Amino acid sequence: MPTFQNWMTKRNITLPDGTETDNYSQPYQRYCEALNLSKKPLMQRQAWLNKLQDKERVDTLKYWLNIIWDTKRK
């Protein structure tokens, strides 16, 4: 059983685009958010993206969504 200390450990992560980061970084969080968003119906995705005010966040999510869907198509 993992201890609290092990559970809160930073781990190195390689994202699908080759970016090296850790599991506490903003790029990893955006990737996870996009992965979750990719599983939602189109109308729900559009509504969520339209609610966001941060253009950089929206652009990053769209970037990851394109990578996620391109990977699924292959």
pLDDT at residue number 73: 82
Amino acid at 71: T
Average pLDDT over the chain reads 90
Give the global pTM. Answer: 0.82
Q: How many CA atoms are closer than 13 Å to the CA of 51, on its beta-carbon side? A: 6
pLDDT at residue number 71: 84
Domain ranges within the chain, ordered by starting residue = 13-73
B/e letters for 28-55, b = 16+ CB within 10 Å, e = fewer, are bebbebbeebbeeeeeebeeeeeeeeee
Q: Is 41 helix (H, G, I), strand (E, B) or coil?
A: coil
**Looking at residues 33-39, what average pLDDT do you find?**
96
